[in-house]
A and B are shown apart, each in its own frame.
Chain A
């Protein structure tokens, strides 16, 4: 159960939130002018990194606001939380080495 700090409400349990997947995948400004390959990339392809990933979350059982966070997909450590429209610099990947070689 992650502890997520909503930028508006403060720290709350994960069950109050819904995850909207990878962040910063903007909808094409002019979809009609986007070719098939680029549009398919927008629709279907995700980075799925091992390490830090930026994600969209919605405090759907609270203030209903969407926001972004940066989370390690290895340790689940949340390294940044920021509002929509912001795009802070990436954190150094401080993912603990303890998690890197975990057993399945």
Chain B
């Protein structure tokens, strides 16, 4: 296939290898080494998409990651990805790309009518146009904006690719593989330091890949190849290409996204990790991230074919693609002249270089003359001919000062592309992310690094040093200094290579180029932010409306808030704002740069932590048995706990009722292995526990256990569990399943920081034990078949703990109860848990032994009024609020929380207190979390709904637990109610959207208040 805009020779493409691809369904050919953008340009395709707000035809602006316009949707289905920047998409066989923001097609886009309605889309249009009437927002405005403005389509299928992560450490991290970065890496590596060199492009060289400079008298790329070979041979150096450092965080911690297979045909999807997230900790960082060219803000500067001058040069020199046959160059600085010269040499006609300045840099005019290129000094492009492609440039000469023109009529220069340069912005993004402070360099018209906040140096173009010689010298010095600071002094100073030096020259700060009619008048638009469609008129309007702070301006106009984060637009906007405000750019300051530098896929950030690997799952040794019995599971922290065990066709309610009845009438077994368990040893163990728990343990005998509460210094309940004394100075504690780690940390805190003199040792033993809770009237009969230890009431009373042999296994039995029934918890070493479990079920078969899950456990404990920490408590609840004041020792002189109980607030009698609630209608189960109020006749409150809204009433409490109780044959609930302990018997109500529910306050214990069953 013919590529009409391909140069005759040259470039870093492989002309012997064609690569076929489709764009908007049409097939094209490029070459290996092309990007999607260079291949499209070689085929003469400039119109690649429609703009965000106005749906204007948009082309390719840049040749790098800063691209704001040429965004495409790549591939389909599980491989699709939106917002891909065409200049950084490497071409591969059968690549399929489509335009974004265009419907029905990029050539005929209905949304372009937005351009005609542009008065509706001015700065702040979100806040203005669509404000009223309110009901229109959801139904009319929002769907319209969404359809009109969508930036690509989010994938609807699962990602077919896999991703992973790497952690790396180094002495010197060099970001950027251009001349400055290569020099830095070379110097650092020569000192023996471990070096990581990262570059976002497919090969090293940076800007040298697009240029024709000489180093030491040879082509610059020979020098690059030499350094690369030297670094590759050094085992302490790691080079990552196609890798973008996207985030710079505290203590020299940086994140990089590596694209490993994106340049390959998609056939290999899912076989190799497509992208990899690098997490790098570096002793020293050298930033050599280069600079981005800025557009000039002139009338109709967004026509396809208007692009950055350096990009046009890159396409010609590196990719052998001409951006046009006739290219007008428009500039306010010297750098665009090189583009004009190289384009001319590559075969394009240059009708003129239009220079805003009166005078170009030394020697440039002569070189232009030699190449036959006319230069229009003090000239301006005031308009562009053509809609979907540049057809001509309207040029006028400026009067010596101000906005006035020297000509009365514009001259039309016929052309098919315009290459512009508004100066250069150092890529200070990472420097700024690392909290380094910027300064505005007025002569270079850009922000440059000023004071670093971390161990780093900026070199080369990102430091405002645009000349090659300076880049090389700065890089060598910074690389050696970084290595030395990391402990690797240089053995010999490397000599900086001699580079052919081209002076950068002067720049004219022209933030908006004068046009035939003032900004905001007439049809012409002067685009500043190409991705978010923000024009100079929008900035002017925001200024007129009083938005004078740059952060306000940014949010009001959305300038710089697209995925390109304003790489090409921020400085132009600041410059224009400064001229309107009559202040300088340093006085305005700049907006904050944030990670990521360029967009990162969610897949890369997630890595392998997706699906069942998203969060670790903890399983008890009985897990497989639960699964085999059809259990459904509940997440408690990271534990999977058996929730209930439905039989075929059984509803949850029926299953839970059956499990509850089994415990109340015969025997059930709960897997209690997940409860946190802490082994406490040491001569001061009693003293330590007396200081932590609210109750006293001095008199707790060996072989006895006690239910106990842990509170914080503010007196609020933090956790609960069993404290069992298993030796003179040894205890076995349990915690809640979710609180285990927190309680251990907290205990260690007191032990290490408040009472380090106590000889106590804490060990987590949660996973060392499997615990079977055997509960119900037949629990004793079951276990008696498995052990010789006497289990009768006298030999093994309630709250006793004994070591025993159960089913031939060494075990420890706790006679404790969380269900209110006769109950034994049998603990054996974890690896024998399954054996114990199966023996218990075999022994219980004759009693219809039933496994029960956490749901039945919750119902059974609620019937008994037992609390669950985190359900009945929320860090504002004291033991006294829970009716557990009896568990708070009055005799101990001190324990954590004690002092708080005499504070005025904790001593209040109208605090929320734990009560039971019985609904008037026994079938009604209150929703947990329901608010409670005093009884009211207000129909708006009693009938529910939201119209009319009831008059506000004070909330006096809320429902903490609520269930259908199979034992009582009615609903029950626990609640925290203001002054509730003194209100038993009174009626209150829960106003729900379905109508108010009246209920009576009771004590929290609904079943066996005397505790005969557990004691029996």
Contact = CB atoms under 8 A, between A and B. Distances in A.
A and B part of one assembly: yes
A104 B594 CA distance: 11
A31 B253 contact: no
A78 to B, nearest CB: 8
A96 B453 contact: yes
A3 B551 contact: no
B498 interface: no
Contacts, number: 83
B598 interface: no
B281 A3 contact: yes
A8 B589 CA distance: 45
A30 interface: yes
B909 interface: no
Contacts of A60: 741, 745
A27 B713 CA distance: 9
Interface string A83-104: 0110000000000111101111
Contact of A3 (B251, B451, B591, B756): B251
A21 B702 CA distance: 38
A62 interface: no
Interface residues of A, number: 37
Contacts of B749: 20, 56, 58, 66
Given A32-B898, A65-B752, A103-B592, A75 B745 contact: no
Interface string B417-446: 000000000000000000111000000000
A39 interface: yes
Nearest to A64: B748
B903 A66 contact: no
A34 B752 contact: no
Contacts of B251: 1-3, 76, 78
A58 B250 contact: no
Given A31-B894, A103-B591, A75 B435 contact: yes
A10 to B, nearest CB: 13
Given A32-B894, A36-B904, A1 B756 contact: no
A31 to B, nearest CB: 4
A64 B763 CA distance: 11
Contact of A84 (B452, B756, B894): B756
Contacts of A34: 899
Interface string B686-722: 0000000000000000000000000001100000000
Contacts of A84: 752-753, 756
Contacts of B748: 58, 64, 66
A64 B762 CA distance: 11
Identify which of B252, B435, B592, B904 gathers the most chain A CB atoms within 10 Å of its CB. Answer: B435
Interface residues of B, number: 35
A25 to B, nearest CB: 10
B137 interface: no
A76 B551 CA distance: 25
Contacts of A78: 251
A32 B451 contact: no
B133 interface: no
Contact of A32 (B437, B592, B893): B893
A64 to B, nearest CB: 6
A31 B899 contact: yes
A20 B754 CA distance: 13
B839 interface: no
Contacts of A32: 893-894, 898-899
Contacts of B435: 75, 98-99, 102
A13 B255 CA distance: 14
A43 interface: yes
Given A2-B251, A32-B899, A43-B714, A27 B756 contact: no
Chain B binding surface SS class: mixed
Contacts of A18: 745
Interface in B574-610: 589, 591-592
Contacts of A45: none
A104 B549 CA distance: 13
Given A20-B749, A84-B752, A76 B250 contact: yes
Nearest to A58: B745
B745 A98 contact: no
Given A84-B753, A98-B436, A99-B435, A43 B900 contact: yes
A18 B754 CA distance: 18
A98 B756 contact: no
A84 B714 CA distance: 23
Interface in A10-39: 13, 18, 20, 26-28, 30-32, 34, 36, 39
Contacts of A26: 754
A40 interface: yes
B899 A39 contact: yes
B753 A98 contact: no
B249 interface: yes
Nearest to B899: A31
A86 to B, nearest CB: 12
Contact of B899 (A2, A28, A96): A28
A27 to B, nearest CB: 5
Contacts of B745: 18, 58, 60, 64
B591 A98 contact: no
Contacts of B589: 103
Nearest to B904: A36
A98 B453 CA distance: 6
A102 B904 CA distance: 42
Contacts of A28: 899
A98 B752 contact: no
A75 B899 contact: no
Nearest to A56: B753
B659 to A, nearest CB: 37
Contact of A39 (B250, B451, B903): B903
A26 B745 CA distance: 18
A34 B898 CA distance: 12
Contact of B903 (A3, A27, A36, A101): A36
Contacts of B450: 98
Contact of A1 (B250, B453, B752): B250
A68 B766 CA distance: 29
Contacts of B898: 31-32
B169 to A, nearest CB: 10
A20 B749 CA distance: 9
Interface in A44-74: 56, 58, 60, 64-66
A98 B10 CA distance: 47
Nearest to A36: B903
B450 to A, nearest CB: 8
Interface of A: 1-3, 13, 18, 20, 26-28, 30-32, 34, 36, 39-40, 42-43, 56, 58, 60, 64-66, 75-76, 78, 84-85, 96-99, 101-104
Given A3-B281, A18-B745, A58-B748, 15 more contacts: A1-B249, A1-B279, A3-B252, A31-B894, A31-B898, A32-B899, A39-B899, A56-B753, A60-B741, A66-B752, A78-B251, A85-B756, A96-B451, A98-B450, A102-B592
In the A-B complex, the 8 residue pairs with the smallest Cβ-Cβ separation, listed nearest first, are A31-B899, A98-B451, A98-B437, A3-B251, A1-B253, A98-B453, A103-B592, A66-B752
22 contacts: A1-B279, A3-B281, A27-B754, A30-B894, A36-B903, A36-B904, A43-B900, A56-B749, A58-B749, A60-B741, A65-B752, A66-B752, A84-B752, A84-B756, A97-B451, A98-B436, A98-B450, A98-B451, A98-B453, A101-B437, A102-B592, A104-B592
